[in-house]
Structure 1
Amino acid sequence: MKKPEGIGALSLCALGWSLGGIFLKYVSVNSFAAAGIRSLFSFIVMAVLSRQLPHFFVRNDVTGKVDSAQTVSLWLSAFCYAATMILYCVSNKLTYAANVIFLEYTSPLWVILFSSIILGEKNSKIDYITFAGIAAGMLLFFADDLLAKKNGNVSETMVLGNTLAAFSGITWAGTTLFQRKQQILIAQRIREYGATVVPKHNTSRDAFMLAQILTAVFGLPFIFLMKGGIPDLQSVVFLFLMGLFQMGLPNILYSIGIKKVTALSASLITMIEPLMNPVWVFLFVHEIPTVKCIIGGVIILGFILLREFVSKRR
C-alpha cells in the first residue's frame, strides 16, 4: 500500500535529481574535476545523514568469512555508478541537458539485453517490445547529428555528448543489474544458512557511497591536471549544492521512499526527474533541445511506463 511519506520522499528525491542539468550549467570547472568535487560533497552529506561509513566487504554472518560473490557485485555496482556520474557531468557540458537525461533513461534497454546473462532471468514479450521502442527513441537523438554530418555542418561536441550520454545508460543499467544480483545472492544465502545471513547494512547505500569515493578519487586530481580545473567561488557553491540537494539528500530520500511504495509507484514518481530536468534548464538558461530529441525522449519514457504497467498487472 502506498504511504504518503513514501510518495513525498520519492517526489523530493526526483526533484533533487532533476537539478543536475541546471546546476552544471553554472559550473566552469572541467567536467572530471566537477564530478570529483560533487561526489566529495555528496559522500560527506550521505555519511553525516546516515551516520555510517560504507562497508567495503560483505560478510557471511554464519561463517564470518567474506562473501566473495556479494562483494564483487557490490564493487561492480559501485564502479558502474561512478562511471554514470562521470559520464553525466562530461556529457552535460557537450550536449543538451534533456538529451543527457533521456539517453541515461535508456538503461532498461540494456537491462533487458544483459539480464539473462548476468542474472539468469528470462525476458518476456513486453521486454522485447520495450527494447524495440527505446531503440527507436535513441535513434531520434542521433538523427540530427547524422543529417548535419551529411550536410557538412555537424557539431562534433554534440555527437560526442550524445554518445557519452548513451553510454551512461549502459553504466546505469550495470548499477541496477549488479544491485539486483546482490539481492539474488542474499536470497540464495538465506536458503543455504537461514535469515541470519542477511547483511545488517544497506548494500545499495554502500554501493552508492563507494561510488562517491571512487568518483572523487578519480576526479579531484583533474583540478590541477587540466586547464580550468581550479574552480571559482560560483562553481564551488553550485557543486556543493549538487552534492547536497542533487545527490546526497536524494539518495537518502530514495532509500526511505522505496521501502514504503510499490515498485511501479516508485518508477512513476521518479519519472519527475527526466520531465523536470529540461524544464529547469529551459527556464534558467533558455536551452531548448530539438523536436526530434523531445519526441525521442517521450517515446523512451512511454515504453518504460508501458513495461512497468504490464509487469505490474502480471
Structure 2
Amino acid sequence: MQSNHIKNLSGLLLATFFISTSGVLGKYIAMPSEVIIWFRSVFAMVFLYVFCRLKKVDLKIKSNKHIVPFIISGIFMAIHWVTYFYALKRSNVAIGMLSLYTFPVMIAFLEPLFLKIKFNPMYIVLGCMVLLGVYILAPEFNLESANVQGILFGLFSALCYSIRILILKQYVAQYDGGMLMFYQTLIITICLLPVLFIMDVSGFESQYPYVLLLALLTTAIGHSLMVHSLQFFSVSTASIISSVQPIFGIVLAFIFLNEIPTWNTFVGGSLILATVIIESIRSKKN
C-alpha cells in the first residue's frame, strides 16, 4: 500500500513538472496566444491518438450523456490555456504561474457542489497557505501595471481550470487519461480553428520546435499523467500537491529566460512547498 502511494504521488509530481514547462515555453514562443494554443492542441492530439492506438486504448465514448460534459470541459480548457498564456505574456513566468495557482482554493470551495462530497475545512487552511504564498510573491498592486493585468488573467484562467478539472473528475474512473486528453485537444483544435484565418501565424516556421515540445512534453504527457492521477487522489488533494508547479516554473524561467527570483519569491515559494508536503502526508493517511 505504501509503495503504491509513493508511486502514485511520484506520478503526480512528474506530471506537475512536465506541465510547469508551459510557463517558459508560453513566454518564449513568439506568436499570439490563441495561435500557440491551436498548434499546441493539434500536435498534442496527433501524439495522443498515436499513443492510444499503440497502447490499444479504447477511444469510444461509452454514453451519449458524456458528450456534452466532454465538450464543455474542453471549452473551459481552451479558455484556461489562452488566458494563462495571456498572463505569461503580460507579466512573467512567476506571476503568471502563481496567479494560476489560486485554483486549489477555488476547487476546495467548488468540489462539494460538483461532486456532492462533504466539505473538508482543512482545505481552507491549506488553500490560505497557498494564497499567502502567492500574496508574498505578487508585486505591488497597481491596476495600470502589466503585472496586475497578468494576475487578473491568471485568476480567470484558474477559475476555468478548476471547473474543467471538476467536470472531468466524474469520468476519470471510466476512461483512460490519454483518451480524455485526446478529446480535450480535439475540442480545443475545433474551437480555435478560426484564429488561423484572423491572426498572424507567420512566426510558426521559426517557432515550431518549441510548439512541438509544448505539445508533447507539457500537453500529451504532462496533462495525461495529471488526469490519470485523479484516479488515486481527490481533486483538492491533487490540486494542492501540484501547487509545486510554480516553483518548478520559476526555476526553469531562471535557467532558460534569466528571470531572477526575488527574496519574496523564496518566502512565498516556501509556503507553497510547505502546503504540498502537508497535503502529501495527509493524502497518504487517507
User: RMSD across aligned C-alpha pairs, in angstroms?
Assistant: 3.3
Higher relative contact order (CA 8 A, sep 6+): 1
How far residue 169 of structure 1 moved from its aligned partner, in angstroms, is 1.7
Match of 2:249 in 1: 277
Q: What pairs up with 1:248-287 in 2 under 5 angstroms?
A: 248-254=220-226, 270=242, 273-287=245-259
Other structure's SS at 2:90 match = coil
Unpaired runs of 5+ residues, structure 2, are none
Shift of 1:302: 3.0
Aligned residue in 2 for 1:234: 206
Q: 2:188 aligns with which of 211, 215, 232?
A: 215
**2:86 aligned with 1:113, yes or no?**
no
Identity %: 20
Structure 1 269/108 Cα, relative in aligned 2: closer, same or farther at 3 Å?
closer
- Tell me how far apart the structure 1 counterparts of residues 32 and 166 of structure 2 sit (CA, whole Å): 30
Specify the alignment match of 2:152 in structure 1. Answer: 163
**Is the 8 Å Cα contact of residues 34 and 219 (structure 1) preserved in structure 2?**
no
1:287 match: secondary structure: coil
Q: How does 1:173-188 map to 2 (within 5 A)?
A: 173-182=162-171
Kindly name which structure, 1 or 2, has the bigger radius of gyration based on alpha carbons.
1
Counterpart of 1:193 in structure 2 is none
Name the CA distance, whole Å, in 1 between partners of 2:190 and 2:275. 37
Number of equivalent positions: 280
Supply the distance in 1 between the matched residues of 2:162 and 2:171 (Cα, whole angstroms): 14
| Structure-2 residue corresponding to 1:97 | 93
Alpha-carbon separation, structure 2, partners of 1:267 and 1:136 = 16
Residues 1:136 and 2:132 aligned together? yes
Contact 2:37 2:82 in 1 (8 A): yes
Q: Tell me the secondary structure at the aligned position of residue 230 of structure 1.
A: coil
CA–CA distance in 2 between the matches of 1:132 and 1:276?
A: 21
Separation in 1, partners of 2:155, 2:272: 12
Q: Is the 8 A contact 1:26 1:234 kept in 2?
A: no
Q: Provide closer, same or farther for how the CA distance between residues 291 and 242 of structure 1 changes in structure 2, counting only shifts above 3 A.
A: same
**CA drift at 1:176:** 2.2
Per the normalisation by structure 2, the TM-score is 0.80
The correspondence of residues 1-314 of structure 1 with structure 2, limited to 5 A, is 1=1, 2=3, 10=12, 12-51=14-53, 54-55=59-60, 57-59=61-63, 66=64, 68=65, 70-146=66-142, 154-155=144-145, 157-182=146-171, 199=174, 201-202=175-176, 204-226=177-199, 228-254=200-226, 270=242, 273-314=245-286
Q: 1:254 to 1:169 in 2, by over 3 A?
A: closer
Asked if the contact 1:18/1:274 (under 8 Å) is kept, the reply is yes
Q: TM-score, with normalisation over the residues of structure 1?
A: 0.74
